[in-house]
Amino acid sequence: MSQATTATLTADVKALGDLLAVTYEEGLGLADLHPLTAARYRGIAADLISRDLPREPHAIAMVLALLVGEMRHEGVAPWMFARHLDAAGGVLARF
């Protein structure tokens, strides 16, 4: 395996939370959201970082699907997985 595929996600929790908020909340950042919603995105960011995931879009998307779906009280619908893959691509591009 190359180092790129074995390296794990490392990031600033607030910056990653802001990226997730912008991705899932139609362009609104943490500062634009209700404090509880902003805290949930920071929590998702912290969870992503703490899981020691490989730098692979599919692995990150699977976790995002579960965590964001849980936050929004949604199931993990197969047709929504493409959105999570896009979000994972954005996470990997910045972090």
What digits encode the pLDDT tens for the residues 14-62? 999 999 999 999 999 999 999 999 999 999 999 998 988 888 999 999 9
Question: What pTM, to 2 d.p., does this model score?
Answer: 0.79
CA distances from 89 to 19, 34, 41, 67 (A): 11, 26, 17, 17
In this prediction, residue 5 carries a pLDDT of 44
Q: Kindly give, in sequence order, each residue whose CB lies less than 8 Å from that of residue 34, ignoring residues fewer than 6 positions away.
A: none
Query: Region 65-93: what's the mean pLDDT?
Result: 82
pLDDT at residue number 95: 86
Please state the domain count of the chain.
1
Q: Which domain holds residue 20?
A: 3-94
